[in-house]
Each structure stands twice: as C-alpha cells, then as structure tokens.
Structure 1
Amino acid sequence: MVSAPHEAMHRIFQEYPSLFSQLSEVLGIELPPLVSAEPVTVDLTESEPLERRVDTLLRIETQNDGPFLLVVEAQGKKDPGKTASWPYYVTYLNNKYRLPVLLLVICQDHATAAWAARPLTIGLPQWPTVTTRPLVAGPHNMPVITDVAEARKDLALATLSAITHADNPDVDAILKTMSVALRDAPESIVAPLVEFIAQGLGNRPAARQWRNLVAVDLSFYTSPLSEEIRDEGRVEGRVEGRVEGRVEGCVERGAADVLLVLGARGIAVSDRAREKIATCTDPELLSQWLVRAAVVATGDEIFDGGSSADR
C-alpha cells in the first residue's frame, strides 16, 4: 500500500511542475529556464516484446567479491545504436539478476576501440543519471605476442591477441608464433583455437597465411579448417595437374602434402615438378619440400637449396 508521505513527495511535482526550477537552484544544478511541463504516463510496462540479445553473457564467480555478470560484445565498427542498447543491457541485467554487470567490448581497430571506450551517459549534461563505462580490449592495449613461450603460457589469451591484431603489420609473425605454440598442445584445445583465429581474420590477406600455416605446422589436426584446406588442395591438384593420376596414386603421404600446400596457395606447378614430387620416395627430402611449399613464390623454388638430389 502506497503511503501518504510517498504520495506527497512526488505528486507535488505534478501540481507544481515549476517547482523543479527552484529545487535545482537549491541543489546546485544550473538549468536553463523552464518553458513548459506536461504529464506523461507513469506506466513503464512494455506492451510489445522488444528482442535484444547480447553476444555473450557469463556469470562469473569470484573468491572474495561474489558473482557478477560479464557481457561480451564484439564490435567491428562504430554503431550509434549501441549508445542506447549497451546501457539498456547493463541496467536490465542488473535489475533481473540483482548482480553487478561488467560490459566488455572487443575491437580490431583503433578507431572503433576509442569510440567504444567513451562513457555512455543518460541524463542531463549537468547531472548524468546513469553512466555506462565499457571495458574495451583491442589493438591499443592487447599484447603483440611473437614469442612462442609467451603464447604457450595462455593459448586462449594469445588467440584473442592474434584476432585483435588482425590488421597489425606484423600479423604474419604473430600467426607463425601461434601455429608453433599450438603444435604441441592437445587436439581438443588446438581445434577450436585454430577455427577462432580463422574466423577472426575474416577475408583479410592474413587469412591465407593462417591457412598455409595450418596446412604445414598443424597438418596432423583434423579441424574443419584443416579438412577444408586439404579438400581445396585435392581439387587444385586435379584441375591444374594431369599427370596420369600421380597424386592419387602416390604412396607417400608427404608427396601428396607438398602438392596440397602448393595447390591451396594457388602456386602453379609444372608437369616436371609435379612428377618429381610425386615420384620422390625420400621422406626427409619431402619434409624439406613441404616446409618450402609454404613460402615459395613458384613451384620450382621448392627444389632450390639442399642436397644434390634436391635439384
């Protein structure tokens, strides 16, 4: 039951709207002169459901401060609509779960990160009522990890770092570090991280570099990406080279892998080079060619350097 004091404390503003003008002076808030005021419905119930979804929502338990909710938003570009939706997410979740809410925004470029980090305020400039301060992770504050030992300390963090630095000029070194760091990890850990990096790179040029590294350094894993690369290599081998079933009939897996990597990279392979690879029975030599296949510009360059049998 609503009490009489409760009614008096707010209804007086309905009868005397100009009261707030005098009250603001008492409270030390400078406002321009009021021109008019009119009542608005006090019913805040939403008559129609409005669909709103966060990217990821986690309940985090801590040792000392109790649980809180972590909202993770991936932001690829500036979006004026987030000015309204992010504060809504925070206030709604706090009201529903009665838990502290932390909003984390992940970005891949400096401009978007700077935009996302701005405090979002609801209220008057003189006195903001609600302020939402996103915590932003992006290329401006994520570490650039090019040391294999450092990457292995926390593979998930290193993966996120690689994703946020997708446009970094040193992205090739970052990705090479990741491929080596993942090499000795359990497949259950490697498979999802390989896919996350591939997704995070999108259609950037670095995506092709990552596919090449997966084909060579992580070729023994059976992730969806590695299988896709193998399929591409098989198709390229059949289309570009018609050496009477040399690839299909090759007993040594190493020879097929060399042709697979060259095909996946779009490197043209001459009939002479293809036959030489397909008929090679030296595992050590095939391993050398496989490594070179990831970096050469032409098919014949894989034979440069090494033993006399290599030429």
Structure 2
Amino acid sequence: MIQSEHEVLIELIRRSPSLATRLFAELGFDTPKYTSIRVETTDIAADHHHLVILLLDGDTIVLAVVVEVRLHEHEEFRDWVPCAADVWARHRRPTVLLVFAPRPTAQRLRPPLLVGHPGLTLSPLVVGPETIPVITDLQTARELPELTLLSGTAHGEHHHDVLQAIAHALKALEWPMRAAYVEHLARRLSGPSISKLDAFMTTVGSGRSIVAATGDEVKEEPESHQGVDRP
C-alpha cells in the first residue's frame, strides 16, 4: 500500500523504469548499450526512498542505477554513498546515483559528496524541474502516463495545460495508484490549480474529484516546500 509522497514517485518509476534512461541524455550522461531493463528486488528499498534499476546487455549488467526521491529541503542525503557502494559491491558493475527532485530544492543536491579518500567522490545525477519535460500533448499523456505524472509534479502549478494531460494520464492507472497520485498532487497544488484539475478529471472521466479523493477542502496555497515499462 502506498503511504507516502515518496512512494508515489518511486512507484511511478518502478512501473516505468525507462523514465531513468529517458532523462540521462538531459543530464549529459551517456547510457551504455542495453537490451533489457529490470527493477531489482532488494532490501535497499525498505524505506521506500530507494529503487535499483539494472540495465542489461544480454545477461550482463552494464549499469546499475540507484534511484532516490527527494521532495523536501530538510531531507538528509548522507546515506547515498553507502547505498551506491552497496549496489556496486553486490554486482561489481558500473553504478550511478540518480536523484529525482522535482521541486526547486534540486539545486542543493548537485554538489559532489566528498568522502575524504583522495579521488573518491560521489556526484549525484539530479533530475530537477528543468530536466523533466513539460508534457501537454494528450496523446503523449496517454502513451507515457508515468512520465506525464512526473511532469505534473514538477510543472502542474505553473503550466495548467499539464493538468489536462494529467487527467488523461490518470486513466491509464489502476485506482489505488491513481488515488495515491491525486492525493500527492493535492499537497503540491494551490486551490485554483486543484479546481482546474478537478474540472479536467470530470471531463475526461479519470476518477473522483481530487477533493473527494483526499477528503480535504481545496487549499488556497500549496504547502511550504521547506525544510509496465514503455520504451
């Protein structure tokens, strides 16, 4: 059962792990040639902030991707080095850390983490709002619902055409995931944006009102932000 905002985004990526590889080019990272992609089942995901994706060429792992989600300014990231090291030690294959931070806090996550040993640093690949595409095309929304919903988290407040795309993307999800994402958005959007999304959802027939789904009154302002796969 999805219980936190982090789990919502982790589940989107789990459903469509190619989200990671789609965004590598935007980050200037060269993805190695691979023929398949899978999500690794591991205890590293026990706190619901982590996900491990493996890219394979035949039976050989060519890249391991440790996926993290960071939504709030106050969240710690000192566990990133041991997490990446653990995955590297398990597979002894190239390993990268990919951080999804769809809020403006992404900037503070980019500096390298200095371990102390000469030459040993970890520079996270950070997916911030500027990396996530603004998806407004409805056909794209229906074909790539997970990417569209990630776009909604990053851009829904300031690009209301994205809200219409979200309404179409939600139809591709089963109800528990749809309800969890709607509740996640309700914490992120202002009252006027929630009302617009409500109207789009009603028109498209993509589920209950966002207010009915959360049991909350429409907010006037979003909360403070402080401290399956498709090729």
TM-score (norm 2): 0.58
**Larger relative CO (CA 8 A, sep 6+): 1 or 2?**
2
> Could you tell me which of 199, 222, 234 is aligned with 2:184?
199
For residue 163 of structure 2, what is the aligned residue in structure 1?
175
Contact 1:78 1:116 in 2 (8 A): no
* Residue among 116, 130, 133 paired with 1:143: 133
Instruction: Return 5+ residue gaps in structure 1 as ranges.
Output: 1-51, 233-263, 267-311
The equivalent residue for 1:161 is 151
User: Please, which of 106, 111, 115 is the counterpart of residue 122 of structure 1?
Assistant: 115
Distance between the aligned counterparts of 2:182 and 2:112, measured in 1?
Answer: 30
CA pair 204-96 structure 1, distance change in 2 beyond 3 A: same
Find the aligned partners of 2:122 and 2:48 in 1 and give their Cα distance.
Answer: 15
- SS of the counterpart of 2:130? coil
Structure 1 CA distance for aligned equivalents of residues 168 and 47 of structure 2: 37
When the two structures are aligned, how many residues end up with a matched partner? 171
Verify the 8 A CA contact 1:198 1:207 in the aligned structure 2: no
Map residues 77-116 of structure 1 onto 2, 5 A cutoff. Answer: 77-79=72-74, 81-82=76-77, 84-110=78-104, 112-116=105-109
Encode CA deviations 1:164-184: one digit per residue, 9 max, x unaligned.
2244x21x221112214555x
- Percent of aligned positions that are identical: 22
Unmatched 5+ residue regions in structure 2?
Answer: 1-45, 220-231
The equivalent of 2:29 in structure 1 is: none
Q: Which runs of 4+ in 1 moved over 4 A?
A: 225-228
* 58 and 80 in structure 1: CA distance in 2 versus 1, 3 angstrom threshold: closer
Which residue of structure 1 aligns with residue 67 of structure 2? 72
Contact map agreement 1:71 1:102 (CA 8 A) in 2: yes
Q: Which structure's residues are more often helix, by fraction?
A: 1
RMSD: 3.5
In structure 2, the CA distance between the partners of 1:69 and 1:89, relative to structure 1 (3 Å rule), is: same
Provide the C-alpha distance between the structure 2 equivalents of 1:81 and 1:182, rounded to a whole number of angstroms.
Answer: 31
> What is the CA distance between 1:160 and its match in structure 2?
1.0
